[in-house]
C-alpha cells in the first residue's frame, strides 16, 4: 500500500481517533431524496460504525483513497448524453464536500450544452427550466474500468425561486466551474451528488463506497 500522507502525521483527526472503537471503521452519509425540485424534502442521516441499511441499497461500488484527510479519490471518466464528444476518459482527482458539484470548466461547458442551459448574468450562473428535468440526461461519472455513478437532473438542478430571481420557472444548474490547474482536485462532489448516492467513508480500508439510495416512502 502507498505511503499515504495521513500515515506520516502525528496528529490524528477525530474520526481516526474514534475508528478503533467502532464496530466497523466506517461512517455512512445519506441525504433524503427530494420529492420534487420545487418542494424539496430536507433530511438525512449519518451512521457511525456501520453501513446504513435502512436508507441505502446493499450493493456498493468502491474507490481507493489517495488521501484520508480530504477523502480524495480518482474518477476515470465523465460523460453526459451519448455523443462521443461529451465523453472524457482522463483520470481526475475528487474531493468529497457538502457544497454542490464543482467540475473542470470544459466539463461544465458540456453539461451546459447538453441541458441547453442559459447564463443568468445577474447571478453569473446557468439556469434551466425546472419542467425540463425529466427529459434531461444524467451526468455519468466512471470509477475504475466499468463502474458508473449517475446523477439525474432532479439532483443537479435546484429551485431557488424563494431566494433568487432567476426568472419564472427557472432552476439553477448546481454544477459550477472550478480549476485547480494541477495543484489540487479536478472535481468536488457536494450535496447534489450526495442526494443521488449513499456515501461510505471507509477509514479502516481507506476507500470510498457508493450505493444507490432506497426510495423514500
**Domain segments of the chain as ranges:** 5-212
Q: Look at residue 216 in the predicted model and tell me its pLDDT.
A: 47
75 in Cβ contact with 13 (< 8 Å): no
Q: Which tens digits make up the pLDDT trace of 77-90?
A: 888 876 555 555 56
Q: From CA 83, how far away is CA 52, in angstroms rounded?
A: 36
Instruction: Considering only residues 179 and 25, tell me which one the structure prediction assigns the higher pLDDT.
Output: 25
Q: From CA 50, how far away is CA 25, in angstroms rounded?
A: 8
* Per-residue CA distances from 14 to 5, 17, 18, 64, 84 (Å): 16, 5, 6, 21, 44
15-19, 35-39, 200-204, range with the lowest pLDDT = 35-39
Q: Look at residue 155 in the predicted model and tell me its pLDDT.
A: 85
Contacts of residue 96, defined as CB under 8 A and 6 or more positions apart, other chains included, come to 70, 71, 188, 189, 199, 201, 208
**Which residue is listed with cell 457544497?**
99
> Is a pLDDT exceeding 80 seen at residue 139?
yes
DSSP state of 20: G
Q: Look at residue 86 in the predicted model and tell me its pLDDT.
A: 53
pLDDT, the chain, mean? 79
Looking at domain 5-212, its CATH class is mainly beta
Amino acid at each position: 500500500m502507498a505511503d499515504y500522507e495521513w500515515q506520516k502525521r502525528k496528529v490524528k483527526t477525530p474520526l481516526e481517533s474514534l475508528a478503533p472503537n467502532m464496530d466497523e471503521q466506517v461512517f455512512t452519509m445519506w441525504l433524503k431524496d427530494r420529492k420534487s425540485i420545487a418542494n424539496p424534502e430536507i433530511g438525512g442521516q449519518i451512521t457511525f460504525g456501520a453501513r446504513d441499511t435502512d436508507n441505502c441499497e446493499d450493493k456498493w461500488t468502491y474507490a481507493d483513497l489517495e488521501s484520508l484527510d480530504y477523502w480524495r479519490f480518482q474518477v476515470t471518466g465523465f460523460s453526459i448524453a451519448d455523443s462521443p464528444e461529451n465523453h472524457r476518459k482522463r483520470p481526475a482527482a475528487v474531493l468529497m464536500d457538502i457544497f454542490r458539484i464543482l467540475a473542470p470548466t470544459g466539463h461544465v461547458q458540456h453539461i451546459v450544452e447538453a441541458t441547453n442551459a442559459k447564463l443568468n448574468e445577474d447571478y453569473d450562473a446557468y439556469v434551466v427550466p425546472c419542467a425540463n428535468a425529466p427529459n434531461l440526461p444524467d451526468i455519468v461519472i466512471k470509477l475504475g474500468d466499468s463502474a458508473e455513478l449517475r446523477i439525474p437532473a432532479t439532483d443537479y438542478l435546484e429551485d431557488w425561486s424563494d431566494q433568487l430571481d432567476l426568472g419564472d420557472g427557472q432552476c439553477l444548474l448546481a454544477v459550477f466551474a472550478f480549476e485547480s490547474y494541477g495543484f489540487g482536485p479536478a472535481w468536488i462532489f457536494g450535496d447534489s451528488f450526495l442526494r443521488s448516492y449513499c456515501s461510505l467513508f471507509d477509514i479502516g480500508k481507506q476507500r470510498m463506497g457508493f450505493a444507490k439510495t432506497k426510495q423514500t416512502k
